[in-house]
Amino acid sequence: MSTAAVDPIAFVRGTVTPMANLTFPFVTSIVGIMSTSEGEHVGSAVRCMLGGQRVLVTAKHVADQAAEAPLGGGYTIVRGAAPTQLPREPVLVDAARDLAIFSVDSTGTGDIEWWPQDEIDTDPQARAHDYLFLHGFPGARARFLFGDQHNRSLPYGVMERNDDLPLDTRPHEFGMDYDPNNLLLESGTTADFVDPRGLSGAAVWRIGAYKRSASAWRPQDGRLVGIVTRWNVDKRVLLATGAEHLLRLVNGAHG
């Protein structure tokens, strides 16, 4: 009995919703707390278990911006509820690669989920040959109402981009196309452009289809591969720090 070939474009489009459902519990908004009733979304973060600790991973510039708010920085735990105060300082920082890690063990987070360290992938070849999935909170979809944070996340799938990158792209960074002319819904129809500002600090996963048949793929095959740090509007590309640098930062602290 013959088996029909899988359309690769249809396959990768069909992975977006399953990956969104898998990763949403780990996605966090970072805010600057302006007052007891006002806040400003400044970036995204991902909840991880690293070095045996519950942490938030974000971009250093996001952490710095949140700390400048009158009441400091906060992060979301319960959807639609007021943010929880961030610790005053990150426990680990890599300024050159724009990474910051906050320990949040003591904030009473209960049953909130944390992305496991053994599901972080540091292989650039696997990343370059897999479909990538980004999930974070753009500022255009964040609202702070009567002391509560209301966000709508942006799940976004794309291949790694290696051509026409900004001249200041650094060795630790990889690129992802974010061109308004190329944004499509899962149906293949054109999607409305969402300003990506506020996605800094969001996690990037590879879906886990590299060296795996489409029929065998599951969203649980996904592996975290990077942290978004900036958007170059002229080149229409999002840039991220590779996860190998995140683990190097953590392992150096525990070495």
> Is there a contact between 29 and 41 (Cβ–Cβ < 8 Å)?
yes
Cross-strand partners of 49? 54, 116
SS3 79: coil
| Rounded distance between C-alpha atoms, residue 124 and residue 187, angstroms | 30
Q: What is the pLDDT of residues 98-117, one digit of tens each?
A: 999 999 865 455 568 899 99
Q: pLDDT (tens digit, 9 = 90+) per residue, 228-246?
A: 999 999 999 999 999 999 9
Q: What are the structural domains, with CATH classification, of the chain?
A: 8-25+115-253 (2.40.10.10), 26-106 (2.40.10.10)
Closest CA to 59 of 245, 254, 234: 245
**Residue 253: partners with Cβ closer than 8 Å, 6 or more residues away:** 51, 91, 92
Average pLDDT of the segment spanning 120-149: 79
Neighbours of 103 (CB within 10 A): 17
Residue 68: burial class (beta carbons within 10 Å; 0-12, 13-18, 19+): exposed
Torsion angles phi and psi, residue 125, rounded to 5 = -70, -45
User: pLDDT digits over 141-169, tens only?
Assistant: 465 544 555 556 888 888 999 999 999 99
